[in-house]
Amino acid sequence: MKIGWLTLLLLLPFVGALVTMAVPKAKALLSKQVALGFSLVVLVLTAIVAVGYHQNGAEKYNETHTWIKAFGANYALGLDGVGIVLVVLTALLTPVVIIASWNDADNGRWSSKSFFAWILALEALSIGVFSATDVFLFYVLFEATLIPMYFLIGGFGGPQRSYAAVKFLLYSLLGGLLMLASVIGLYVISARAGDPSYLLSDLIKLDMSQNTERWLFLGFFFAFAVKAPMVPFHTWLPDAAGEATPGTSVLLVGILDKIGTFGMIRFCLGLFPNASEWATPVVLVLALISVLYGALVAIGQTDIKRLIAYTSISHFGFIVMGIFALTSQGLTGSTLYMFNHGLSTAALFLVAGYLISRRGSARIADYGGVEKVAPVLAGLFLFAGLSSLALPGLSPFISEFMVLAGTFSNHKVIAVIAVLGIVLAALYILLMYQRTMTGPVRDGIEKLKDLNAREILAIAPLVVLIIGLGIFPKPIVDIIKPAVESTMQRVGVTDKAPEIPVTEGQK
Amino acid sequence: MIGLILPAADFVAPKIEYTELMPMLVVFGAACVGVITEAFLPRALRHAAQLAITVVAIVVAGVLTGLLINDNKELIAAQGAISVDGPALFTWLILLALTLISVLLFAERSLDGGLSAFASQAAAVPGSEAEREGTAARIEHTEIFPLTLFAVGGMMLFASANDLLVLFVALEVFSLPLYLLCGLARRRRLISQEAAMKYFLLGAFASAFLLFGIALLYGYAGTMSLGGIADALAQDTGAESILLAGTGLIGVGLLFKVGAVPFHSWTPDVYQGAPTPVTGFMAACTKIAAFIGLMRVFYVALGGSRWDWAPMMWVVAILTMVVGSIVAITQTDVKRMLAYSSIAHAGFLLTAFVGLAQAGSGVSNGITSTQAVLFYLVAYGFSTIGAFAVVTLVRDAGGEATHLSRWAGLGKKSPLLAGIFAFFLLSFAGIPLTAGFTGKWAVFSAAWTGGAWPLVVVAVLSSLVAAFFYVRVIVLMFFSDLPTDAPDVALPGWQTTTAVALGLAATVILGLVPGPVLELAARAGEFIR
């Protein structure tokens, strides 16, 4: 049997996790090297797949095997523009996190090798989630990602980690179980129409009554809104990200939460286009609240990690807004935003993690004048912060601009209010920078060591990409575009013609 | 006396289909052989001999059942008393498989200083000199093996009874040995005897309800056979009230055995008091037999009046799920927690039962209720016995340490054991890639297919509550610190190791590739009349 590319991407990290666990306890260093090696191989393979996808299209990567015939479930993997971008992000962030967290798990509840094994298991499941083209398979992997994340938070984190882990799990299960009801509903409708099938390509052909479609949509949307997370289902994120190690937080916010917004595009818009259009006003208002509320609460935080978590809630508000603006520009912007947010939040969390591990406290009040003692650390922190507030020239700016422009053409009021989010972003980032990095050197900071080579190495790829994609985002936009267009077609909306047409001369 | 008056020519020997009934006959026959062995063999040889007889009988019966399934046998046997149909054969097979695992646990002697989990002399007063002497002399009640065989034989008969009287006889045949087995714990004998007493009294009470219900249904239909009652329903004899009362009373008797709310109150006490291997056996096998019996009576005999009893079952299903999951949260004992979890599982099973997804009620495509329930029972049975087997291993000086606080930090002491138990719990909670998830998916879709989608919503929310208390145990095992006086993890003998390994293997396989078992359950088809 020929093993498909995506299956390989899915299996390899799993094998890596098992090999990592098999390394004897005494050889902690070896287990880390094994984990890093596997994640790098996965990264290389993903790059090959991405290039192949760009040149030859998605056909080559589709795999479909019957899995559970009675349920109509298939082991079906495939890529589209949105999926490949997130698979690349996953493959990229995993080695970055492994390098950055090299010593973070040494004092955890369990041996450090289990930390790295769980990370690889999470990578495998996430790649599966982003490439599943069967709703049942997607659901199974979606729920399965909770287990590694649960143990990553609960096993290696701050003093309140058990509480945070359980809260994370219960919130996610609540969403997931309501989605299960919708997934079962899809099966019933599919079975009534003929042989049951969970393949996306079969499901989009189904006829649903208006009410059924809306109910099923709500089940899916609720799960994704909890995952994303949107206000008012967001309270688990600050706790989880605040207690987890910085590396875990990166995986949680950078990858796992993207499943929520990814699911909105692929499943809410893809399977329930009419219901999505029906829900647009409420979703947009919730997204707007997330943007503003997340930003306002972030300003008031006293804990660096919780602050970053709240900024993410604000960013996710932008992403959801772009998706449900239902314009191709907004949707493209949101997809790009998912990728860029992964880069900038990873950089911010990791640098903040370096800082916190040196001082042993996450309280903003404990810092001051760091830029005098550790200039490289402070510089990178500023860079990560600026990318998070979408400074022009850095990649998040482009996506945020596209989201706002896309929203503006359909929903002017919402877009105008959302612009406030940018102002608030400048406030929360710069205030945090000012309080921790500038000013007189505080007690306990004098002997702060600057970053070492390993720590810089972990951040370097993120910095390069943030600048590179900030100046030249075309390659990634080209990959996203076709998928966005087919989704738009499915929803049945077309972009409004610009009110001031582009004239020949201006072109 | 009457026989003398009848002319001899009128007597026709009843036709018994020995081939089809052979699995059951083997089990009952072996049980009788076991009783004789008990009387004639010297004590030193009994344990080995009884174990051999039991295992051989179960394996032979299992192989015979497999052959029958392979031949697609379907018929009403023994003059209409027993129906050997697809669901019955499937049930026999899982009952035999689970009993085999349980018997291995019964035979385990390496956990408690070379002694089994059963009392040396059940008649000796707890704490008395006679008890100490018995323990010192290493006396054992090897009767547990024939008792188990009788119980499983009764369960097989119960699941295939095509006649209400046979149903009742079968109920008593499997209940009486279980009452006895419950009272035989070596440790904490008072709780064990109390459990046996409670189980017996409440069980007798439930039997009386069942019997009265049978009598009323006989009054309505004029026959005891399930098919005959269905015919009477179709003709609508007009005695509605007697039919409804009979249905309700039979329902009480059967739901008691299933462990559904509000007939569940025996479950936690009995599960806690019984010797843990017996608890595992009861939790898995009694539930299976009782559920299939329930479905057979209500689908085959009372299917025609489903609009009368379905609302009642809706209420019972909702109550069972909600009460089972919520009350489980407050439990502080592992065995009681698993008892409430088994109640919640009975509720999930009931959703498929009242969903009535079957050809008879106009559902032509997709998963049927019978298929879903059969699959769920397999998944649940293996995980349950595996979980109880793990419970037998966590011990301190007083026997098993079942209080939840004693399990704190177990993940540190024995990561493998805690990991396996966590996996079973995740399966109970219905996390994907475990058997529990596939099972839940199956019963919920059967319920929805039959139109009971509000039940699915309730079930999903109860699953969340249930997940909370399963996760709580995982938190306790992995995220709490190990106390200084933590219980030991006993080194299991091959018997317990095999039982845990089989439970684990089934839970993994049914989670990853449930296809074959689902196909088998689908092939079992519907109950025949």
Write the DSSP string, B320-358: HHHHHHHHHHT--BHHHHHHHHHHHHHHHHHHHHHHT-S
Phi then psi for B7, rounded to 5 degrees?
Answer: -70, 145
Asked if B460 and A185 come within 8 Å (Cβ–Cβ), the reply is no
Q: A369 by DSSP, 3-state: which?
A: coil
The answer, yes or no, to whether the previous bond of A229 is cis (omega within 30 of 0) is yes
Whole-model pTM: value is 0.92
Phi then psi for A178, rounded to 5 degrees?
Answer: -65, -35
Q: What angle do CA A297, A300, A305 make, to 5 degrees?
A: 80
With 70 as the cut, is the pLDDT of residue A106 above it? yes
Give the gap in angstroms from C-alpha B310 to the nearest C-alpha of chain A. Answer: 21
The candidate with the shortest Cα–Cα distance to A303, out of A159, A149, A443, A455, is A159
Asked if B515 and A178 come within 8 Å (Cβ–Cβ), the reply is no
Q: Does B467 touch chain A (CB under 8 A)?
A: yes
Q: Measured between CB atoms, which of A169, A180, A196 is closest to B471?
A: A169
B425-444 residues touching A, CB cutoff 8 A:
426, 431-433, 437-438, 440-442, 444
Amino acid at site A179: M
Q: Measured between CB atoms, which of B437, B464, B475 is closest to A166?
A: B475
Q: Do A334 and A403 touch, CB atoms closer than 8 A?
A: yes
Q: What angle do CA A314, A145, A455 make, to 5 degrees?
A: 65
The candidate with the shortest Cα–Cα distance to B392, out of B193, B186, B105, is B105
CA A465 from centre of chain? 16
Q: Do A314 and A425 touch, CB atoms closer than 8 A?
A: yes
Probe site for chain A from B367, B369, B426, B519 (most A CB atoms < 10 A): B367
With 90 as the cut, is the pLDDT of residue A304 above it? yes
> What is the mean predicted confidence (pLDDT) over A95-118?
87
The domains of chain A are located at 272-497
Q: Which residues of A275-291 are buried (b: 16+ CB within 10 A; e: fewer)?
A: bbeebbeebbebbbebb
What is the distance between the alpha carbons of residues A60 and A53, in angstroms, rounded to a whole number?
8
What is the rounded average pLDDT for all residues in chain A?
A: 91
Helix (H) / strand (E) element for A359: namely helix A328-359
With 60 as the cut, is the pLDDT of residue B3 above it? no
> What is the mean predicted confidence (pLDDT) over B472-496?
86
Q: What is the pLDDT of residue A253?
A: 94
Give the gap in angstroms from C-alpha A182 to the nearest C-alpha of chain B. Answer: 10
Phi then psi for A38, rounded to 5 degrees?
Answer: -60, -45
Q: Do A74 and A64 touch, CB atoms closer than 8 A?
A: yes
Phi then psi for A363, rounded to 5 degrees?
Answer: -80, 130
Q: Do B164 and B84 touch, CB atoms closer than 8 A?
A: no
Structure tokens at A41: 């191989």
Asked if B437 and A169 come within 8 Å (Cβ–Cβ), the reply is no
Q: What is the pLDDT of residue B7?
A: 56
Probe site for chain A from B457, B460, B519 (most A CB atoms < 10 A): B460
CA distances from A453 to A196, A376, A377, A405, B33 (A): 55, 11, 12, 40, 77
Asked if A187 and B445 come within 8 Å (Cβ–Cβ), the reply is yes
Q: Does B457 touch chain A (CB under 8 A)?
A: yes
CA distances from A136 to A186, A256, A483, B467 (A): 10, 18, 22, 20
Identify whether B262 is part of a domain.
Answer: yes
With 60 as the cut, is the pLDDT of residue B5 above it? no
Identify whether B276 is part of a domain.
Answer: yes
> What is the mean predicted confidence (pLDDT) over A108-121?
87
How does residue B523 score in pLDDT terms, banded at 50, 70 and 90?
confident
Q: Which residues of A437-457 are buried (b: 16+ CB within 10 A; e: fewer)?
A: beeeebeebeebebbeeebee
| Weakest mean pLDDT among A42-46, A337-341, B314-318, B471-475 | B471-475
Q: What is the pLDDT of residue A447?
A: 84
Residue B236's CB is within 10 A of a number of other CB atoms, namely 11
A190-219 residues touching B, CB cutoff 8 A:
191-192, 194-196
How does residue A507 score in pLDDT terms, banded at 50, 70 and 90?
very low
Q: Do B253 and B213 touch, CB atoms closer than 8 A?
A: yes
Q: Where are the beta strands (DSSP E) in B29-114?
A: 75-77, 82-84
Q: How confident is the model over A415-433, as pLDDT tens digits?
A: 999 999 999 999 999 999 9
Amino acid at site B220: Y
Which residues in chain A are contacts of B475 at CB distance < 8 A? Answer: 154, 162, 165-166
Structure tokens at A257: 């939460």
Amino acid at site A411: H
What is the distance between the alpha carbons of residues B463 and B252, in angstroms, rounded to a whole number?
25
Q: What is the pLDDT of residue B362?
A: 65
Q: Which residue of B has its CA nearest to A186?
A: B445
The candidate with the shortest Cα–Cα distance to A79, out of A160, A133, A139, A121, is A133
Residue identified by tokens 């008892």 is: B339
Beta sheet of B488-489, edge-to-edge order: B399-400, B394-396, B488-489
Q: Which residue of B has its CA nearest to A182?
A: B457
Q: Does A158 touch chain B (CB under 8 A)?
A: no
The candidate with the shortest Cα–Cα distance to B377, out of B155, B199, B173, is B155
What is the distance between the alpha carbons of residues A347 and A472, in angstroms, rounded to a whole number?
20
Identify whether B1 is part of a domain.
Answer: no
Q: Measured between CB atoms, which of B366, B438, B456 is closest to A191?
A: B366
Identify whether B308 is part of a domain.
Answer: yes
A316-345 residues touching B, CB cutoff 8 A:
none
If one counts the domains in chain B, the total is: 1
Q: Do B301 and B250 touch, CB atoms closer than 8 A?
A: no
Helices A146-155 + A135-144 axis angle, to 10: 10
B361-420 residues touching A, CB cutoff 8 A:
365-367, 371, 412
> What is the mean predicted confidence (pLDDT) over B232-249?
88
What is the distance between the alpha carbons of residues A464 and A471, in angstroms, rounded to a whole number?
11
What is the distance between the alpha carbons of residues B47 and B435, in angstroms, rounded to a whole number?
34
Domain that holds residue B374: 14-523
Q: What angle do CA A406, A408, A412 make, to 5 degrees?
A: 155
Give the gap in angstroms from C-alpha B461 to the nearest C-alpha of chain A. Answer: 7
How does residue A26 score in pLDDT terms, banded at 50, 70 and 90?
confident
What is the distance between the alpha carbons of residues B456 and B306, in angstroms, rounded to a whole number?
19
Rounded CA Rg of chain A: 22
Structure tokens at A448: 């702060």
Q: What is the pLDDT of residue B9?
A: 62
Identify whether B8 is part of a domain.
Answer: no
Identify whether B529 is part of a domain.
Answer: no
Residue partners of B498: CB distance under 8 A and separation at least 6: B101, B104
Probe site for chain A from B370, B458, B478 (most A CB atoms < 10 A): B478
Q: What is the pLDDT of residue A498?
A: 66
Q: Does B312 touch chain A (CB under 8 A)?
A: no
B478-497 residues touching A, CB cutoff 8 A:
478-480
Q: What is the pLDDT of residue A235?
A: 92
> What is the mean predicted confidence (pLDDT) over B285-304?
93
What is the rounded average pLDDT for all residues in chain B?
A: 90
Q: Measured between CB atoms, which of A70, A184, A187 is closest to B522?
A: A70
Q: What is the pLDDT of residue A1?
A: 54
Asked if B365 and A178 come within 8 Å (Cβ–Cβ), the reply is no
Q: Do A290 and A313 touch, CB atoms closer than 8 A?
A: yes
The candidate with the shortest Cα–Cα distance to B275, out of B139, B391, B361, is B391
Q: Which residue of A has its CA nearest to B439?
A: A71
Q: B427 by DSSP, 3-state: which?
A: helix
Residue B485's CB is within 10 A of a number of other CB atoms, namely 8
Asked if B371 and A146 come within 8 Å (Cβ–Cβ), the reply is no
- Under 8 Å CB pairs connecting chains A and B tally to 103
Which residues in chain A are contacts of B445 at CB distance < 8 A? Answer: 71, 184, 187-188
What is the distance between the alpha carbons of residues A212 and A167, in angstroms, rounded to a whole number?
31
Q: Does A180 touch chain B (CB under 8 A)?
A: yes
Which residues in chain A are contacts of B463 at CB distance < 8 A? Answer: 177
Identify whether B92 is part of a domain.
Answer: yes
Asked if B432 and A140 come within 8 Å (Cβ–Cβ), the reply is yes
What is the distance between the alpha carbons of residues A485 and A504, in angstroms, rounded to a whole number?
25
How does residue A16 score in pLDDT terms, banded at 50, 70 and 90?
very high
Asked if B445 and A155 come within 8 Å (Cβ–Cβ), the reply is no
Q: Does A166 touch chain B (CB under 8 A)?
A: yes
With 80 as the cut, is the pLDDT of residue B156 above it? yes
The candidate with the shortest Cα–Cα distance to B260, out of B318, B338, B186, B178, is B318
Residue A337's CB is within 10 A of a number of other CB atoms, namely 28
- CA dihedral sign, ordered B183, B188, B189, B192: negative
Asked if A143 and B431 come within 8 Å (Cβ–Cβ), the reply is yes
What is the distance between the alpha carbons of residues B461 and A241, in angstroms, rounded to a whole number?
26
CA A5 from centre of chain? 23
B81-100 residues touching A, CB cutoff 8 A:
none
Q: Do A267 and A133 touch, CB atoms closer than 8 A?
A: no
Q: What is the pLDDT of residue B398?
A: 80
With 70 as the cut, is the pLDDT of residue B4 above it? no
Which residues in chain B are contacts of A141 at CB distance < 8 A? Answer: 432
Q: What is the pLDDT of residue B363?
A: 67
Asked if A70 and B441 come within 8 Å (Cβ–Cβ), the reply is no
How does residue B506 score in pLDDT terms, banded at 50, 70 and 90?
very high
**Percent of chain A surpassing pLDDT 90:** 72
Q: Per mean pLDDT, which of A43-47, A495-499, B67-71 is the most reliable? A: A43-47
Q: Does A138 touch chain B (CB under 8 A)?
A: no
Give the gap in angstroms from C-alpha B185 to the nearest C-alpha of chain A. Answer: 36
Q: Do B250 and B380 touch, CB atoms closer than 8 A?
A: no
Q: B83 by DSSP, 3-state: which?
A: strand
Give the gap in angstroms from C-alpha A177 to the nearest C-alpha of chain B. Answer: 6
CA dihedral (B295, B296, B299, B304) in degrees, to 10, reads: -140
Which residues in chain A are contacts of B438 at CB distance < 8 A? Answer: 68
Asked if A161 and B367 come within 8 Å (Cβ–Cβ), the reply is no
Q: Do A138 and A30 touch, CB atoms closer than 8 A?
A: no
Identify whether B377 is part of a domain.
Answer: yes
